[in-house]
Structure 1
Amino acid sequence: MKKVISAFVITILFFGLTQTITLAEKKEKTEVKQETKVQIPSSVMNITKENTYPNPTQDLPYLQPSDLTQQLLETSEIPIENPDLIRMLNETTISDAPLAFGYRATIYMGQWPLRYESGETNTNWEYQKINTNLTDNRGGNAVQRMYYKQESEKHVKGGLTSKISKAEDVKKMMLLKAMEKTNLPLSFHTVVGYGTKKEQVYNISPRKLGYLYAYAPAVNEKGKVTFGEVYLVLKGNKRTIDIKNVTSQGIGAWIPVQDHVSFGFVVSDQPR
């Protein structure tokens, strides 16, 4: 009886220790995930409501594989993350044949960028200057206020830093990864409309010039793309994906932050 009780106590202690370790691991993973999110400086403001140009929201959710696609993906030695390739597989239909014994077929689906592995993600809050407001208070005797007002429509474009095959597929995968890591609204093309205003006040003392510079921020994403030739292999009722001629290529991209502006305020005695 004592042996049974001892074994029961040991089991309880082991279970409790396992649960503690599991919770600690989950907490550690959560903390790491939180650390990867970008902290927005106080000089950067969201202009979604004020922007006179309505930017379309980037909606690039991870495409859910169908049951057949999921079965096929699990047979691949190389992880496949390309949403366009997953979409093509989702549209594929393969019927089970009761007399498929001895049936063999290999279907070439082309060369694809299979996945993107992120290596480094950094944010440049002054990626591109888009506006300058000037207030001249050199002849004044009191503090003068100034506000941000966009003087002209500005298109801010990002892109890949080098040429690569299937560039649009690669950009989608890099965009998804960068959005996941930064939690920022990203787009390879964003616009700040003419007349966009922000009510943030900047004070210019008498006998001074005030300059308010506005910048469009962007994320610099760097990593590696894995390419491969994709074959759909059918053997009887067995279906698999075979990847051949696998290659990797380093790639980088600048991806603007949508509907965000970074401000720099400078007071000067003389024109700049």
Structure 2
Amino acid sequence: MKWPQSILAVIFALFTLTNPVHAEKTKAPEKSVQAKIPSSVLNVAKENTYPNPTQDMPYLQPSEFTKDLLKSSNVKIDNPNLIKMFNESAINKTPFSIGLRATIFLGEWPLSYESSETAPNWEYQKINTNYFDNRGGKKNYQIHYVQESQKVIKGGLTAKIAKSEDVKKMMLLKAMENTKLPLSWDTIVGAGTKKDNVYNIAPKRLGYLYGYAPAVNEKGKVTYGEVYLVLKGLKRMIIVKNVTSQGIGAWIPVQDHVSFGFISTDRPR
């Protein structure tokens, strides 16, 4: 029997109570291995003249009600926004629900993201060059890193995809879990940011100290589906229909880190 949309909405409203559940922080799975940071990559969080906000992505924990729904689903669901919606709802089991039969369409959602590769690029984008000409000098000249101008480093998805904000959140969580790096979709290195590490330029040489913003290349697969909430008497379940998958990639900058490359040469570059 098909129910008119307005009646379904009333039924869902009658049996739904708001029950906010806050996100809880949990540790990422122990199987993930932290990315090995090269010695040429330095943390500039303390020296950065632009205070980037800390990216603290909580691992959303499902409520008991949500756990029951997720177990009933025929497709894996780990979209934090969808889990949050379930967390904020509860359907009471009352005597009035014994004869209830209803199927409520909750929309098409990106359900889960499966990572296939997480690879750092320590020289994702050049952001600075410090230079000194010591060809007329008689002894070594020492230079160190000084950020000449403010640089904004932006990441993003490598292709257009439906519900991109949900997908980006899942990809960021997975990349952070895989690398243990402080990742963000955009980060800023402020003008005047300095580091005390010294680089020597010999006489009759020119020295170039390049600064690069590192980023992580995240690749994987997103699974989409139409989500239905099915009510059958006292039973509540999730059914997903028209399931599809799509490959996707993204570049995600590493926050407050700079990769350095020093070159000494007898000719201008």
For the aligned pair, the TM-score class normalised by the smaller chain equals 0.7 to 0.9
Partner of 1:96: 93
What is the 5 A alignment of 1:138-217? 138-217=135-214
Partner of 1:19: none
* Deviations, residues 56-112 of structure 1 (Å, cap 9, x unaligned): 111111111111111111111111110000111111121111132221111111100
> Greater CA radius of gyration, 1 or 2?
1
Matched to 1:226, the amino acid is T
Deviation at 1:37, TM superposition (A): 2.3
The alignment-based identity, stated in percent, is 68
* Deviations, residues 241-260 of structure 1 (Å, cap 9, x unaligned): 01000000000000010011
RMSD after superposition: 1.2
Query: Aligned equivalents of 2:153 and 2:90: distance in 1?
Result: 42
Query: Aligned equivalents of 2:229 and 2:76: distance in 1?
Result: 15
When normalised by structure 2's length, the TM-score is 0.88
Deviation at 1:182, TM superposition (A): 0.6
Q: Secondary structure at the match of 1:176?
A: helix
1:257 matches 2:257 = no
Aligned length: 241
Partner of 1:133: 130
Q: Secondary structure at the match of 1:70?
A: helix
* Deviations, residues 122-172 of structure 1 (Å, cap 9, x unaligned): 111100000000011111111110010000000000100011000000000
Matched to 2:102, the amino acid is A
Query: Aligned equivalents of 1:93 and 1:37: distance in 2?
Result: 38
Higher relative helix content: 1
1:38 matches 2:73 = no
Query: Aligned equivalents of 2:150 and 2:129: distance in 1?
Result: 13
Deviation at 1:207, TM superposition (A): 1.2
Q: Secondary structure at the match of 1:148?
A: coil
* Deviations, residues 22-58 of structure 1 (Å, cap 9, x unaligned): xxxxxxx96xx36x32110010000010011111111
Query: Aligned equivalents of 1:168 and 1:66: distance in 2?
Result: 23
Question: What are structure 2's unaligned runs of at least 5 residues?
Answer: 1-28
Query: Aligned equivalents of 1:46 and 1:37: distance in 2?
Result: 15
* Deviations, residues 200-239 of structure 1 (Å, cap 9, x unaligned): 0001111111100000001001000000001111111110
What is the 5 A alignment of 1:68-83? 68-83=65-80
When normalised by structure 1's length, the TM-score is 0.87
Question: What are structure 1's unaligned runs of at least 5 residues?
Answer: 1-28
Query: Aligned equivalents of 2:98 and 2:180: distance in 1?
Result: 50
Query: Aligned equivalents of 1:67 and 1:54: distance in 2?
Result: 39
Query: Aligned equivalents of 2:174 and 2:136: distance in 1?
Result: 52
